[in-house]
Amino acid sequence: MTGDWDLAEECAQDAFARALDRWPRDGVPDRPGAWLTTTARHRAMDRLRRARTEAEKLREIAATSYGDYGDYGDPPDRYGPPDESGIEDDRLRLIFTCCHPALPLDARVALTLRTLAGLTTAEIARAFLVGDQAMAKRLVRAKAKIREAHIPYRVPPAPLLPERTAGVLAVLYLLFNEGYSASEGADLIRTGLCAEAIRLARLLVELMPDEPEARGLLALMLFHDARREGRVDADGALVPLEEQDRRRWNAATVAEGLAVLWPPGPPDRPGFYRLQAAIAACHATAPTAADTDWPRIARLYGRLRELTPSPVVELNLAVARAMAEGPAVGLELIAELESSGALAGYHLLPAARADLLRRLGRDGEAAAGYRAALALAASEPERAYLRRRLRETDETDETGGA
């Protein structure tokens, strides 16, 4: 119908939502199936038209012609002949222009949603919890800068391509995380961001088939998305990975992630997203929590640390090693992290320590850790989970479980 399955699927869902909203009020139409198809088609056309219009506007705004780098002159080591990167797709130019590092990050995200996903300004504003006016202003400012500072409308030449591609991936990753960290109900619009991020990552993989990190990012998103159903319980509390009902994970999405991450042929070089996707794949493919290949996960985190050292990676490595070699090892590593002060104020640091203490049966100390984490955690599903753990470990609490 639209030649774009994701869009079609999503618009169909949207049409169902409208049906649920409208039929009780207006009555069920004579041919419900046809009504749904028509509504879905209109909605898809709307979005495609909107995206096309926005893309057209941006193209006009970006005043300079693309590709023609002959007049850059020296040095040839940085700027070669036109089309050196070998990529010629209008949508790809759009992505790179929207994600140009000279634009503020929030504007990059908003522009990408507007011109590539066809979201309205109001929709983007709601997704990012800002007012329509503020979002409109942000978009206007970004477009003005593209025009006035001459941000080029093109795919960067080969020497610039790796760093600029990393920038594009970062925007899509942020988009996905914005949606993923949101939960149910009032945050449904934000969860829609996950679908947009996946759609755009698919597009990027299609447009840059030789970029392993684009595939790594798409796979990473797919593995996380596959688990979405299982990660929050009926009360809205976060369900930790080991307690999730793995039958609720989307097997088809996991399979797609695996195919994306490991296409036939020689393995690609490891990268930031590929390594994280490989870790997510370990979880997604373990039939039960007990089957998780923690030594492999610890090795992957070790490589991630070599590539992009950060205290958050250290913390994850500590947890993986605790699961592989025993909680005591992890507690030692976490104590080092705590004394470094690098993650002060980060709720997952005391939460991780508390989880390891709980596994060792040191409930009193664990409860103190959960309490410390609870004081720092902001998201309600995470807080609900921490409260539950606190009840289970806090000996002074009579309602606590064994």
Partner 1 sequence: MRYLLIICTDENTTGALGPEEGAAMLADYTAFGEEMGRRGVLLGGERLRPTSDATTVRVRQDEVLVADGPFAETKEQVGGYYLVDCKDLDEAIEVASRIPGARHGTIEVRPIWER
Determine which residue in the list 31, 137, 141, 150 makes contact with partner 1, applying CB under 8 A.
Answer: 150
CB of 98 to partner 1, least distance (A): 14
Residue 143, interface with partner 1 (CB under 8 A)?
no
Which residues sit opposite 232 in a β-bridge? 238
Stretch of 147-155, 265-273, 289-297, 368-376 contacting partner 1, by CB under 8 A: 147-155
In the block, tokens 């079609």 appear at: 8
Residue 31, interface with partner 1 (CB under 8 A)?
no
CB of 148 to partner 1, least distance (A): 6
Helices and strands, number each (H, E), in the chain: 17, 0
Residue 71, interface with partner 1 (CB under 8 A)?
yes
**What is the number of residues in the chain?**
402
- CB closer to partner 1, 71 vs 210: 71
Residue 78, interface with partner 1 (CB under 8 A)?
yes
- CB closer to partner 1, 155 vs 200: 155
Determine which residue in the list 60, 89, 148, 336 makes contact with partner 1, applying CB under 8 A.
Answer: 148
Determine which residue in the list 85, 110, 118, 156 makes contact with partner 1, applying CB under 8 A.
Answer: 156
CA distance 287 to 246: 7
Stretch of 87-95, 149-157, 217-225, 347-355 contacting partner 1, by CB under 8 A: 149-157
Determine which residue in the list 12, 43, 79, 220 makes contact with partner 1, applying CB under 8 A.
Answer: 79
Give the chain's radius of gyration (CA, Å). 24
Preceding peptide of 75 cis, ω within 30°: yes
3-class DSSP state for residue 238? strand
CB of 151 to partner 1, least distance (A): 5
- CB closer to partner 1, 64 vs 308: 64
CA distance 93 to 102: 15
Determine which residue in the list 1, 17, 45, 102 makes contact with partner 1, applying CB under 8 A.
Answer: 102
Class of residue 147 by CB neighbours under 10 A (exposed 0-12, middle 13-18, buried 19+): middle
Helix residue ranges, H only, 326-379: 327-340, 348-359, 363-376
Residue 28, interface with partner 1 (CB under 8 A)?
no
Nearest-CA neighbor of 46 among 23, 20, 18, 21?
A: 18
Class of residue 348 by CB neighbours under 10 A (exposed 0-12, middle 13-18, buried 19+): middle
Determine which residue in the list 134, 140, 149, 328 makes contact with partner 1, applying CB under 8 A.
Answer: 149
H or E stretch at 148: helix 132-148
Residues lying near partner 1 in the complex (CB under 8 A):
64, 69, 71-75, 78-79, 100, 102, 148-152, 156, 160
